[in-house]
Amino acid sequence: MYKEQLNLTSNDAPLQLRLEASWVQFHLGISRHGLYSRSSPVVSQLLKDMMRFPTISADYSQDEKALLGACDCTQIVKPSGVHLKLVLRFSDFGKAMFKPMRQQRDEETPADFFYFIDFQRHNAEIAAFHLDRILDFRRVPPTVGRLVNVTKEILEVTKNEILQSVFFVSPASNVCFFAKCPYMCKTEYAVCGNPHLLEGSLSAFLPSLNLAPRLSVPNPWIRSYSLAGKEEWEVNPLYCDTVKQIYPYNSSNRLLNIIDMAIFDFLIGNMDRHHYEMFTKFGDDGFLIHLDNARGFGRHSQDELSILSPLSQCCRIKKKTLLHLQLLAQAEYRLSDVMRESLLEDQLSPVLTEPHLLALDRRLQIILQTVEGCVEAHGEQNVIATDPAQQSAPDSSQANLTS
């Protein structure tokens, strides 16, 4: 199957799929409690493999293909066309989403930019994975930084003629390429190596939709993707009362999971969470997968309070989440310090600048103050929710995705 897909013509014996490969073990370990268990050694191995394994294929991602009319990808992603990402396959048949560096670490998103035209940042994807793991959500696919040789590891291994056609050598003798799509098909939007090496993030793929179907659901707190429009939640402070009457937010833990996601997005400054995905096998109480975090960490100088609207309007939070946040607010476990240490593991360290790390501490205090205000207004019993599914569940891969 792989030989056919990759159009390999070598007479050598085909490579054998190893069941002990880290990406296979990652897929097998997905459970109803998260993408990986807290004590799993598989994630560390997967990060190392994505950082060092040679690529054997490169291609556009599904949303770029949808823009080009090459596939019907509406059930996977919504095409945007304003960013560039590629699918890289490795010699062990694993694959990862590659997002190249578009901005320098110390660049902030301009204040006049709308959130839906902001660049996607490779270091935001890396940092989001580490933060998600520190928060013990375990809902972001493993992501690692890598220096990619765009000539040897993309141009020379791709079979896609369109992708081949967008490579060029800049006046500075650097190898560059750009997105082939209706919106940003200009060389000034290209990304360039130095002269061949380019920073990027690699995020492990989830299992095929054929093996593990996922549901894409509009976020109840979706933003208006227009220049002047506003959604109901932005003008109605009682909006959550309406949401709580609607399935599945009226009976399951889905609303609490939405609030978890809002807390995560507020910490990273991500305003672009228009949809969320879930594995259908785990039902209404399954965890929300925190995909596509590259529009986070754009502005360390501003805290976008509207991202916290699910928490401030609903005044509910999981006890487990709150206890974890309170721990990370203590001096000996300060969130910025834990993040700084965790990010040292990455090849592209420093992943975040110091102002972004300090912004995490500031935003954490805002979250805790919001919860405190809710408790004062409604009482602790009505605000802090004990989540039986999370509290009593063993941290293992039992009841996993592929059992």
Q: Is 99 annotated as a binding residue?
A: yes
In a domain, 92, yes or no: yes
What is the tally of structural domains in the chain?
A: 2
Residue 392 counted as domain residue: no
Q: Considering the domain boundaries, does residue 235 fall inside one? A: yes
Measured CA to CA, the distance from residue 126 to residue 202 in angstroms comes to 8
402 within domain boundaries: no
Choosing from 272, 285, 303, 346, which is the catalytic residue?
272
203 annotated ligand binder? yes
What is the pLDDT, as a whole number, of residue 399?
A: 52
Q: Are residues 182 and 228 in the same domain?
A: no
Secondary structure of the chain in the HEC alphabet? CHHHHHCCCCCCCCCCCCCCCHHHHHHHCCECCECCCCCCCHHHHHHHHHHHCCEEEEEECHHHHHHCCCCCCCCCCCCCCCCCCEEEEECCCCEEEEEECCCCCCCCCCCCCCHHHCCCCHHHHHHHHHHHHHCCCCCCCCEEEEEEECHHHHHCCCCCHHHHHCEEECCCCCEEECCCCCCCCCHHHCEECCCCEEEEEEEECCCCCCCCCEEEEECCCCCCCCCCCCCHHHHCCCHHHHHCCCCCCCCCCHHHHHHHHHHHHHHHCCCCCCEEEEEHHHCCCCCCECCCCCCCCCCCCCCCHHHHHHHHHHCCEEHHHHHHHHHHCCHHHCHHHHHHHHHCCCCCCCCCCHHHHHHHHHHHHHHHHHHHHHHHHHCHHHHEECCHHHHCCCCCCCCECCC
Does 48 show up as a binding residue in the annotation? no
Which pLDDT value is given to residue 60?
86
Q: CA-CA distance, 350 to 392, in Å (whole number)?
A: 37
pLDDT recorded at residue 112:
64
Domain boundary pick from 182, 204, 226: 204
196 and 249 share one domain = no
- 274 and 361 in a common domain: yes
Residues 118 and 228 in one domain: no
Same domain, yes or no, for 236 and 163?
no
Amino acid at 350: P
Judgement on whether residues 255 and 193 belong to the same structural domain of the protein:
no
11 belongs to a structural domain: no
The residue assigned the tokens 């040679």 is 54
| 171 in any annotated domain | yes
Assigned token pair, 380: 């602790």
Residue 292 labeled ligand binder: yes
The two tokens of residue 28 are 């097998």
Q: Do residues 236 and 94 share a domain?
A: no
Final residue of a domain: which of 185, 204, 223? 204
The answer on whether 205 is annotated among ligand-binding residues is yes
d(CA 166, CA 149): 16
* 232 and 117 co-located in one domain: no
Contact between 78 and 93 under an 8 Å Cβ cutoff? The reply is no
**364 and 245 in one domain?**
yes
Q: Is 341 annotated as a binding-site member?
A: no
Looking at residue 93, what is its pLDDT?
81
pLDDT of amino acid 298 = 87
What is the model's pLDDT at position 255? 96
Q: Say if CB 286 and CB 278 are below 8 A apart.
A: yes
For residues 333 and 369, membership in a common domain is answered with yes
Rounded to whole angstroms, the Cα distance separating 341 from 403 reads 35
pLDDT tens-digit readout, 50-77: 999 999 999 988 754 444 444 444 433 3
* The predicted structure's pLDDT at residue 84: 82
- The whole-angstrom separation of Cα 320 and Cα 126 is 24
Indicate whether 97 and 120 sit together in one domain.
yes
What pairs with residue 145 in β-bridges? 201
172 annotated as ligand-binding: no
Q: Which residues of the chain have pLDDT under 50?
A: 1-2, 5-7, 64-82, 182-184, 389-398
Residue 7 lies in a domain: no
- Domain boundary residue, one of 141, 170, 204: 204
Assess whether 111 and 157 both reside in one domain: yes
272 as an active site residue: the answer is yes
Q: Domain range spanning residue 326? A: 214-387
* 319 belongs to a structural domain: yes
Q: Which pLDDT score, from 0 to 100, does residue 388 have?
A: 55
